Amino acid sequence: MNNKFDIFDILVGKPEDPDYGNKPVIIQGITGNFGSVHTRLMREYGTNIVAGVTPNKGGQSFEGIPVFDSVKDASKTFNAKISGIFVPAQFFLSAVKDAVNNGIKLLVAIPEHVPVRDAMESLEYAQTNGAKIIGPNTPGVIVPSVNKIGIMPSQPFKKGNTAVFSRSGTLMYEVSFYLSKAGIGQKIALGIGGDPINGTNLIEAFNLISDRDDIESVVVVGEIGGDAEESLVQYIEKTGFTKPVVAYVAGRSAPKEKRMGHAGAIVYGNYGSAESKISSFSRVNIPVAKRPAEVPSILMKLMK
Amino acid sequence: MKLLEYQGKELFTEYNIAVPKSYLARNQSELNQIKDKLEYPVVLKSQLTTGGRGKAGAILKCANKEELVPKFTELLNKEVKGELPKVILIEEAVNIDKELYISLFLNRGKRTYSLISSSEGGMDIEAVENKVIQDISISALTQSSAETIAKKLGLSGVTIESFSNIVIKLAKLVREKEAELAEINPLAILKDGTCLALDSKVIIDDNSIFRHPELGKYIQISELQEQAEKNGFSFVELDGDIAIIGNGAGLVMSTLDIVNDAGGKPGAFLDFGGRATTETIYKALEVISKLSKVKAILVNLFGGIVRTDLVAQAILNAYEDGMISVPIYARISGAESEKSKKMLSNSNAKLYDTVEEAISSLVQFMRMSK
């Protein structure tokens, strides 16, 4: 794609749009345990959920939201570009294809335990068709005071001008909670996901906000495993991103070759180690907090 | 899932990647059954999940029949990084001309597979120079592109064909078995120029195991691990004496770091995920209660969606049932946290507003009780 993917245009829209700040969202897996609980919570927060999808449950409704067998069926009535995917991991790939084939441009992929092969195939499929996946194994994305697509609690987030990108769900809540408490609100908080393969990695997340005037600073919550943080540092160096960035990296004391909860959180030799990530950030003078609670004070110093 | 060497070699054999002639023995009587079939010299290799076996003396060469039993017994009883082997691989030694290195792995950043190869095998790859790194498509790797890699390594004659065949077979294995990594180090070049896999390191994507029943026999997890997984928890046993429980892998990892910084020694990592009900917390405490080395428990829970009084109830139940007796230091933020504090006020559990406060009290307690 030559046109830059504008996530805010999709999530929020432009003031002249009739559905500005109220963009329609489809939930795939709406009748499941997880899907139903969070559909309710997303709605309470203000997300405009227009339809749900669960194969073989078409024709039913969930708390007034019509349920369809497929996104294909739902798209005959609703023109949604956003889907929250809550299906079990083994149905993920087919859910992605159904969404991408039927007009969805932003797929927020919640399921954990998606096999790498399916994740890779999904990403390729989405990319070829001009769609973007956030996740899998992500808490989702929230534009505070507008909407959220995901499983994050609402309380930690406050409207503002920082972007929070996190490889961990709870740490995204934790860091945003401390930021909000310190008076630093968020324009967007986006979960990269805890898997080895991410639809939107740290660099791509940066790309979503890099030329936006309304974002004043960025907080990056990294963790052990892979080299996403190291690559991000190279990207920041290359593009000359000059706004304040504060990082935090979880897993300094994790043993090698043990998977620490997330499929992607594993160190092999020096590859994926916290030291490697922290020294990368330090090399370009991006401060790395030792604890999540330290993030706001470090950021405030940079903003002065 | 990281396979043991012999398991990886079973997969190699399935894919026609040559390996040395070998036998397995779990104990003396199994050794007796194969003893007379061996052609000396042989190499005894302890089957461990931990790396660095060679340096730790867990690979022994055996020149004749007389050495076999004592060396076998030595290996069977030799602990490496806290791990004892369940089985010993006995391989007939081969005449090697040269050792190579090849590793095919999931390149996370590039979202592709990369092949690292080197004409200097046998050692830690981080120390190896002259590495050839090539991104490859595991579903469309051609003979000619594999041969290009062989030529870059400076291989010649029949070795070019033998090496590129192995690369192609390895790619097929990675694709079909959904491996995150398949490594042969060293890959031997024999006197006749053909290649033979002397070692194997294969890691299968855990999330794909459900569609690989044929790999089920390789799953070997501890009872405790199994109990944790059955409940949907992520559990890692560590060396220390403080168990750390929380909701979210990142949060628990971060807590581990803060405990470590404060001078505490984490003994267990348990992430019970997003389903924080009275029952799941109780089950998490039940898993931890089976680790006798644990002298204190730290609970770090980011509330929000979770109701903290449900957590407090689980802690109370665990004490009342006599399941645990060690103190619990808990940071629980979220709904109903005042109520939760009251519920636990007469128990061996203490609630704190920040994780830093909880950890500093816990570490102080550990110091005093030593």
Which H helix or E strand runs over B43? strand B42-46
The verdict on A250 touching B (C-beta cutoff 8 Å) is yes
- Tokens (6 digits) for B370: 């030593």
Residue A176's identity, in one-letter code, is S
Region B292-304: mean pLDDT is 89
Region A12-41: mean pLDDT is 96
* Confidence grade of residue A4 (pLDDT, cut at 50, 70, 90): confident
* Confidence grade of residue A2 (pLDDT, cut at 50, 70, 90): very low
Region B162-189: mean pLDDT is 96
Each as own residue / partner, the long-range contacts of residues B157-163 (CB below 8 Å, 24 or more positions apart, any chain) are: B157/B193, B158/B192, B158/B193, B158/B194, B159/B189, B159/B193, B159/B194, B159/B195, B162/B193, B162/B194, B162/B195, B163/B100, B163/B187, B163/B195
* Confidence grade of residue A1 (pLDDT, cut at 50, 70, 90): very low
- Tokens (6 digits) for B280: 């799941």
Q: Alpha-carbon distance A252 to A224, whole Å?
A: 8
* Confidence grade of residue B332 (pLDDT, cut at 50, 70, 90): confident
Mean of all residue pLDDT scores within chain B: 92
Among residues A157, A162, A163, the alpha carbon closest in space to that of A144 is found at A157
**CATH placement of domain B223-368:** 3.40.50.261
- What pLDDT does residue B188 have? 96
Region B48-71: mean pLDDT is 92
* Confidence grade of residue B369 (pLDDT, cut at 50, 70, 90): confident
Region B201-226: mean pLDDT is 93
The residue count of chain B comes to 370
How is domain A155-303 classified at the CATH fold level? Rossmann fold (3.40.50)
Omega before residue B266 within 30° of 0, cis:
no
* Confidence grade of residue A205 (pLDDT, cut at 50, 70, 90): very high
Domain with CATH 3.40.50.261 in chain A: 155-303
How far does A43 lie from chain B, in Å, by closest CA? 15
How far does A16 lie from chain B, in Å, by closest CA? 35
A163 neighbors A179 (Cβ within 8 angstroms)? no
Region A141-163: mean pLDDT is 97
Total beta-carbon pairs less than 8 A apart between chain A and chain B: 149
Region A278-300: mean pLDDT is 97
Which of B5, B91, B180, B183 is catalytic? The answer is B183
- What pLDDT does residue B268 have? 97
Residue that the structure tokens 């994790």 belong to: A254
The residue in chain B having the minimum alpha-carbon distance to the alpha carbon of residue A294 is B356
Give Cα separations from A297 to A169, A199, A249, A287, B151 (angstroms): 22, 31, 16, 11, 55
pLDDT at residue A211 is higher than 70:
yes
Region B210-220: mean pLDDT is 93
pLDDT digit string, tens, across residues A221-248: 999 999 999 999 999 999 999 999 999 9
Residue that the structure tokens 């006599």 belong to: B322
Q: Do B260 and A252 touch (CB under 8 A)?
A: yes
Q: Do A170 and B206 touch (CB under 8 A)?
A: no
Domain with CATH 3.40.50.261 in chain B: 223-368
Region B249-261: mean pLDDT is 97
Residue B165's identity, in one-letter code, is N
Region A98-123: mean pLDDT is 97
**CATH placement of domain B21-92:** 3.30.1490.20
Region A65-70: mean pLDDT is 98
Total-model pTM: 0.94
Region A280-288: mean pLDDT is 97
> Which of A39, A41, A116 to substitute to test the interface with B, most B CBs within 10 Å?
A116
**CATH placement of domain B96-216:** 3.30.470.20
**% chain A with pLDDT above 90:** 95
Q: Is the dihedral of CA A201, A203, A207, A213 positive or negative?
A: positive
- Catalytically annotated residues of A: 262
Q: Alpha-carbon distance B239 to A184, whole Å?
A: 39
Region B106-131: mean pLDDT is 84
How is domain A7-134 classified at the CATH fold level? Rossmann fold (3.40.50)
Q: Which residues pair with A38 in a beta bridge?
A: none
β-pairing, B242-246 with B296-307? parallel
